Amino acid sequence: MAVARPQYLADVKPAPHHDLDEEALRVTEPKTWAAGIPGAVVSLKRSWEEMGPVRTARAWRRLNQVGGFDCPGCAWPEPNDRKHLELCESGAKAVAEEATRRRVTPAFFAEHPISELEQRTDYWLGQQGRLTDPMIRRPGSDHYEPIGWEAAFDLIAGELKSLARPDDAVFYTSGRTSNEAAFLYQLFVRALGTNNLPDCSNMCHEPTSVALAESIGLGKGSVSLDDIHHTDLLILVGQNPGTNHPRMLTALQAAKSNGARIIAVNPLPEAGLLRFKDPQRPDGVIGRGTALADLHLPVRIGGDQALFAWLNRMLIERDLPGSVDRAFIERYTSGFTAMADHLAGVDPAQLADAAGLGTEQLEQAFSEIVRAPRIIVCWAMGVTQHAGAESTIREIVNFALLGGHIGRPGAGLCPVRGHSNVQGNRTVGIWERPAPDLMDGIERRFGFRPPREPGLATVAAVRAMAAGRIGVFFGLGGNFVRAAPDSEVTERAMRTCGMTVQVSTKLNRSHVIGGRTAIILPTLGRTEVDRQRGGPQFVTVEDSMSMVHASQGRLEPPSSMLLSEVAIVCRLAERTLGDLPVIDWSGYEADYGTIRDTISEVVPGFHAYNARVAVPGGFVLPHPPRDERRFPTDDDRAHFHAEPLRAIDVPPGHLLLQTLRSHDQFNTTIYGLDDRYRGIHDGRRVVFVNGRDLDELGLADGQHIDVVSVYGDGQARRAPDFRLVRYPTPRGCAAAYYPETNVLVSLDDTAPDSQIPGYKSIVVRLEPLAPLGPDGVVSQGS
- Is the model's pLDDT at 538 over the cut of 70? yes
Among 559, 587, 617, the domain-final residue is 617
**23 pLDDT band (50/70/90 cuts)?**
confident
393 and 262 fall within a common domain: yes
Cα–Cα distance for residue pair 471/174, rounded to 1 Å: 20
195 and 211 fall within a common domain: no
**Number of domains the chain is built from:** 3
Residue 409 lies in a domain: yes
410 and 433 fall within a common domain: no
Type of residue found at 585: W
155 and 16 fall within a common domain: no
pLDDT tens figures, 647-679: 899 999 999 999 999 999 999 999 999 999 999
Angle CA 586–590–591, to nearest 5: 120
Beta strand 472-476 pairing with 169-173: parallel
106 and 20 fall within a common domain: no
Burial, 259: exposed, middle or buried (Cβ in 10 Å; 0-12, 13-18, 19+)?
A: exposed
Report the CATH number at residue 404: 3.40.228.10
Residue 92 lies in a domain: no
pLDDT of residue 22: 59
Rg (CA), the chain: 25
**Distant-in-sequence, close-in-space partners of 686: CB < 8 Å, separation ≥ 6:** 25, 27, 680, 722, 723, 724, 725, 736, 737
Burial, 681: exposed, middle or buried (Cβ in 10 Å; 0-12, 13-18, 19+)?
A: middle
264 and 401 fall within a common domain: yes
pLDDT of residue 21: 54
Report the CATH number at residue 105: 3.40.50.740
- Which of 529, 39, 496, 559 shows the shortest CA–CA distance to 250? 39
Residue 513 lies in a domain: yes
Once rounded to an integer, what is the mean pLDDT over residues 579-593? 94
**506 pLDDT band (50/70/90 cuts)?**
very high
Average confidence score pLDDT of the chain: 94
Cα 585 → chain centroid: 30
Burial, 213: exposed, middle or buried (Cβ in 10 Å; 0-12, 13-18, 19+)?
A: middle
Burial, 533: exposed, middle or buried (Cβ in 10 Å; 0-12, 13-18, 19+)?
A: exposed
pLDDT of residue 264: 98
**Distant-in-sequence, close-in-space partners of 580: CB < 8 Å, separation ≥ 6:** 448
Percentage of the chain beyond pLDDT 70 is 96
DSSP letters, 313-342, are HHHHHH--TTTS-HHHHHHHEE-HHHHHHH
Once rounded to an integer, what is the mean pLDDT over residues 281-309? 94
The Cα diameter of the chain in Å comes to: 78
**704 pLDDT band (50/70/90 cuts)?**
very high
509 and 602 fall within a common domain: yes
Residues of the domain holding 730 = 7-30+655-768
Please answer whether residues 500 and 519 qualify as being in contact, where contact means their C-beta atoms are separated by less than 8 angstroms: yes
165 and 226 fall within a common domain: no
Residue 713 lies in a domain: yes
Among 415, 437, 457, the domain-final residue is 415
Report the CATH number at residue 20: 2.40.40.20
513 and 593 fall within a common domain: yes
Once rounded to an integer, what is the mean pLDDT over residues 501-528? 97
Among 415, 430, 452, the domain-final residue is 415
**Distant-in-sequence, close-in-space partners of 336: CB < 8 Å, separation ≥ 6:** 329, 401, 640
403 and 433 fall within a common domain: no
pLDDT tens figures, 244-266: 989 999 999 999 999 999 999 99
Cα–Cα distance for residue pair 455/166, rounded to 1 Å: 11
pLDDT of residue 282: 86
- Is the model's pLDDT at 573 over the cut of 90? yes
Sheet holding 275-277, edge to edge: 34-35, 275-277, 290-291
Residue 451 lies in a domain: yes
pLDDT of residue 84: 87
190 and 284 fall within a common domain: no
Residue 57 lies in a domain: no
Residue 84 lies in a domain: no
Residue 44 lies in a domain: no
214 and 187 fall within a common domain: no
pLDDT of residue 594: 98
- Which of 234, 50, 177, 31 shows the shortest CA–CA distance to 663? 31
- Is the model's pLDDT at 641 over the cut of 70? yes
- The residue ranges of DSSP E strands in 523-582, in sequence order, are 531-532, 535-536, 539-542, 547-551
Ramachandran sector of residue 468 (left: φ over 0; alpha: ψ -120 to 50; beta: rest)? left
